[in-house]
A and B are shown apart, each in its own frame.
Chain A
Amino acid sequence: MTTKLKRLALTLATISASGLFLPGAFASEPVKGGTLIYLEQQAHTNLYPPAGGFYPNGGILNQITDKLTYQNPKTLEIEPWIAESWTVNADATEYTFKIRPGVTFSDGTPLDAAAVAKNYDVFGLGNKALKQPVSEVINNYERSEVVDPQTVKFFFKKPSPGFLQGTSVIGSGLVAASTLALPFEQLGDATKIIGSGPFVVDSETIGKELNLKAREEYAWGPAKLEHQGRAYLDGIKYIITGEDSVRIGALLAGQADFIRQVQAYDEKQVEAQDYQIYAPSTRGVNNSVVFRPDNPLVADVRVRKALLHATDAKEIVTTLFSANYPQATSIIASTALGYRDISAKLAFDPEKAKALLEEAGWTVGANGLRQKDGKELVLTAYESLPQPQNKETLQLVAQQWGKLGVKLTVLAGDSGSRVVDDLDPLKTPVSPAMVGRADPDVIKSQYYPKNRDVLRQKGGQSDKVQSFADDKLNGLLEALTAEPDREKRFAIAGEVQDYVIDQAYAIPIFEEPQAFAGAPYVQGIAFESVGRPSFYSTWLAEH
């Protein structure tokens, strides 16, 4: 089958290269069968569902697990999937889900209320003995109750309005009891992950290849989808291909059907050959540069503000990126829920930046660097490997700050030093950051000390922090995740956005998409709301 496919792909590539190829020719009935060759940049690390935030993990989990609910990627409304219906009490502390009958995991065990309860008890509370952590999308979880075989009820200590959306995300895939019984470190083995999804893991070569096959009896896709029943594809072959040039080259040479992580500079070439670029937004916190105010150099809000205004996000976007990477207008994406346009506060204004630095007492010294009390304004940041062209982005930021006499040292660094130094605000006063999730809770994920703690507050991720803590910000974040009323919640989300920028904790740069590219005959590619591909409805046209 695959060799045939390959030959077909080769023929196609030849045709398309010779200019005879018409991409519109495929608007017909979906074709069943075939294996999709998918090139992934990095190997998956762990398939415990809440670890699905990491793209390679999510890209697999999204095919092999189902979720309680389905977030329509166009409207962002929550629709039925494994849950046929649900009710929420007024203060969002009790959720009741009615489970669709007849759903089974691929090992034959039923996906019923008891199974759902078991999953959420682990996701909401973690399992210390098995080292399974709490999911970052579930807040204030208390316990579950199996009302009857098809009804499950969840109780929360405090209002948890983000929970309903939380049941739809990649980190909330439902897995069988046998999977949950495994210690966390064994969940790196894909063959041990039993889900109820349209595909099941067939075989795996760790670090190189993963084969999924379609599950014949699958009949419980999201209710409102047009496509029902089993997946069109017979299987998906994931091949880990770390080299950017090999992924893009293999796609264009007809050796692969679909690839993840296409860099902006390769987009033109892909489109020139009638291949398709997919750049779904991750709808979360924008690709940004954040400060660690515990470091005395950036403790002064005027310094941070100066650097915010010294950063020309437009130049970064036009130099390094494409139209798929819109310039940021807030700390979260314009397509995110609860977004507020605060672009006026983000203007590039070198004069204002200069004035702010002078006002804060930083004057240009003999060597061109700004100085104060004998200290130079020299900052350090580690590049983030998963973010697109992050090394280049940071170099451009460094170039822009350099014009004001501020030096930003960009480090590549090995993972050990990076992890250790990143916890210490004195070593890394600046850091790139982003996270995707289509719910305002995502802002808390990013900034709250008990979550990702990007600002490094006292009592958060790092014991190196001396004193910095922002109780006002934390209060707002707590309110954000606990406010049951949708309108009020969005208002708080807007307030947080204003506050973060007023304090200049972050410099938003662009709205980060996940960029994929596919051959012209690959049809029906869909993405969940934060950009992980779903191949359930994908089919390969004649080619």
Chain B
Amino acid sequence: MSGYLLNRLGQALFVLWAAFTISFVLLQAMPGDAILIKFQNPELGLNPQQIADIRASYAADSAIWVQYIQTIGRFLTGNFGYSVQVGVPVSTMLAAHLPATLKLASLGFLLAAVFAVVIAFVSSLTPFAWLRGAIQSVPSLFISIPTFWLGIMLIQIFSFRLKLVPVINPGPWQELILPVFTLAVPISAPLAQVLVRNIDDVLTRPFVAVARAKGATRQWVLWRHVAKNALLPTLTIAGVLFGELIAGAVVTETVFGLNGIGGLTGRAVGSQDAAVLQAIVVFSALAFVTINLIVDLLFPVLDPRLRTKAGATA
């Protein structure tokens, strides 16, 4: 087990390093850079000599491999550098933007799970086939709506027409209502589909028939067996959903003007703020490998069948 753990840890470190390197190369290859974008702005009225001086002061034109070594060195010592666009240390920016995204993402995921459970159970328990069909197609609908469009529509309807929730200057929890809903919609769809499939599976198993024959209600069977069975697949997709949550956060935060990592990412790409982007990539890769590592390690614990063939998951 410890050899397996070490191996997985080594692989995780490799993934981190490779994500860092790929993003570094991508950022270097882009046309222009953060300094040019910020200071070539005609509103600032800088002449070419001044811009050249600024570039020199940032050592922006030193050899690429020197910059690579320096950046890796800085990251290893926990120094993420300065944002060129905003002029604030990257660590300060991340600290300022992380709480909003964590709140949004965790609540979004929670609400998505609630949606999924409701959809799955209602569709399984309803006696009418047409209703079941209708409810089971809700997830398909949910993943067919562009997130930004949903957000804009929700603002128009709930904030501006019905005036139920302000989007400007809202309270700390008020500001989360519409964004969390917007984010939960696309995330809930795959979860709901997993659950629906599990319920279908469980209901066809022989023990269900036995339990029913012994007088157990359909609901009781569902609760008892599905709850247990739903945990595993939810864990498996947590790693994948993480990427979705980040992408969803970029759009949601942009639409609602929330001050989170997503919005920061969008702006940083626009201004090619390399230091900020590099830090975001490293953090998201870190989160990705951590979640996957935990899932991989938890799987054998939760599912005895897998104990003998650990590592069968890709």
In the docked arrangement, what's the CA distance between A415 and B40, Å?
A: 11
Among A415, A423, A463, the residue within 8 A (CB) of B270 is: A415
Chain B's nearest CB lies how many Å from the CB of A254? Answer: 8
Q: 9 more A-B contacts (CB under 8 A) besides A445-B45, A461-B40? A: A54-B41, A131-B53, A135-B45, A205-B259, A242-B254, A246-B255, A250-B168, A420-B32, A452-B45
Do residues A246 and B155 form an inter-chain contact, with CB atoms below 8 A? Answer: yes
A488 adjacent to chain B (CB < 8 Å): no
B10 adjacent to chain A (CB < 8 Å): no
Chain B's nearest CB lies how many Å from the CB of A173? Answer: 15
Do residues A207 and B36 form an inter-chain contact, with CB atoms below 8 A? Answer: no
One digit per residue, 1 when the CB lies within 8 angstroms of any chain A CB and 0 when it does not, for chain B 247-265 equals 0000000110111000110
A32 adjacent to chain B (CB < 8 Å): no
Do residues A208 and B257 form an inter-chain contact, with CB atoms below 8 A? Answer: yes
A95-103, A233-241, A322-330, A362-370: which lies at the interface? A233-241
Among B87, B168, B272, the residue within 8 A (CB) of A187 is: B87
In the docked arrangement, what's the CA distance between A453 and B38, Å?
A: 17
One digit per residue, 1 when the CB lies within 8 angstroms of any chain A CB and 0 when it does not, for chain B 235-277 equals 0000000000000000000110111000110010111100000
Name 28 interchain pairs, CB-CB below 8 A, sorted by A: A45-B41, A45-B85, A50-B44, A53-B44, A131-B50, A136-B45, A187-B87, A189-B87, A206-B96, A207-B86, A209-B259, A239-B169, A239-B257, A241-B257, A243-B255, A246-B152, A246-B167, A253-B163, A255-B166, A256-B169, A415-B32, A415-B270, A415-B272, A418-B32, A419-B40, A420-B36, A423-B40, A461-B47
Do residues B33 and A50 form an inter-chain contact, with CB atoms below 8 A? Answer: no
B64 adjacent to chain A (CB < 8 Å): no
Chain A residues in the interface with B (C-beta under 8 A): 2, 6, 10, 37, 39, 45-46, 50-51, 53-54, 57, 126, 128, 131, 133-136, 184-189, 205-209, 237, 239-243, 245-246, 249-250, 252-256, 414-421, 423, 435, 445, 450-452, 460-463
Do residues B87 and A185 form an inter-chain contact, with CB atoms below 8 A? Answer: yes
In the docked arrangement, what's the CA distance between A419 and B36, Å?
A: 7
Contacting residues, chain B, for A250 (C-beta < 8 A):
159-160, 166-168
In the docked arrangement, what's the CA distance between A205 and B267, Å?
A: 15
Of B53, B84, B264, most A-chain CB atoms within 10 Å: B53
In the docked arrangement, what's the CA distance between A240 and B85, Å?
A: 16
A416 nearest in chain B by CB position:
B32
User: Beyond A188-B87, A239-B257, A253-B159, is A419–B32 a contact (Cβ under 8 Å)?
Assistant: yes
User: Beyond A207-B86, A239-B257, A414-B270, is A255–B159 a contact (Cβ under 8 Å)?
Assistant: yes
Contacting residues, chain B, for A435 (C-beta < 8 A):
42
Contacting residues, chain B, for A418 (C-beta < 8 A):
32
Contacting residues, chain A, for B264 (C-beta < 8 A):
207
Do residues B156 and A245 form an inter-chain contact, with CB atoms below 8 A? Answer: yes
In the docked arrangement, what's the CA distance between A10 and B163, Å?
A: 9
Do residues B86 and A239 form an inter-chain contact, with CB atoms below 8 A? Answer: no
Contacting residues, chain A, for B271 (C-beta < 8 A):
415
User: Beyond A46-B44, A416-B31, is A133–B257 a contact (Cβ under 8 Å)?
Assistant: no
B46 adjacent to chain A (CB < 8 Å): yes
In the docked arrangement, what's the CA distance between A241 and B175, Å?
A: 14
Contacting residues, chain A, for B48 (C-beta < 8 A):
460-463
Do residues A206 and B31 form an inter-chain contact, with CB atoms below 8 A? Answer: no
In the docked arrangement, what's the CA distance between A421 and B37, Å?
A: 12
B30 adjacent to chain A (CB < 8 Å): yes
Of A46, A416, A420, most B-chain CB atoms within 10 Å: A416
Contacting residues, chain A, for B270 (C-beta < 8 A):
414-415
Chain B's nearest CB lies how many Å from the CB of A250? Answer: 4
Of B44, B57, B263, B272, most A-chain CB atoms within 10 Å: B44
One digit per residue, 1 when the CB lies within 8 angstroms of any chain A CB and 0 when it does not, for chain B 38-68 equals 1011111111101001100100000000000
Do residues B168 and A255 form an inter-chain contact, with CB atoms below 8 A? Answer: yes
B51 nearest in chain A by CB position:
A461
Chain A's nearest CB lies how many Å from the CB of B65? Answer: 22
Contacting residues, chain B, for A420 (C-beta < 8 A):
31-32, 36
A207 nearest in chain B by CB position:
B259
Do residues B272 and A249 form an inter-chain contact, with CB atoms below 8 A? Answer: no
Chain B's nearest CB lies how many Å from the CB of A454? Answer: 8
Contacting residues, chain A, for B32 (C-beta < 8 A):
415-420
B19 adjacent to chain A (CB < 8 Å): no
B94 adjacent to chain A (CB < 8 Å): no
Of B53, B254, B257, most A-chain CB atoms within 10 Å: B257
Contacting residues, chain B, for A57 (C-beta < 8 A):
43
Do residues A2 and B31 form an inter-chain contact, with CB atoms below 8 A? Answer: no
Chain A's nearest CB lies how many Å from the CB of B280? Answer: 15
B93 adjacent to chain A (CB < 8 Å): yes
In the docked arrangement, what's the CA distance between A416 and B26, Å?
A: 13
Do residues A133 and B168 form an inter-chain contact, with CB atoms below 8 A? Answer: no
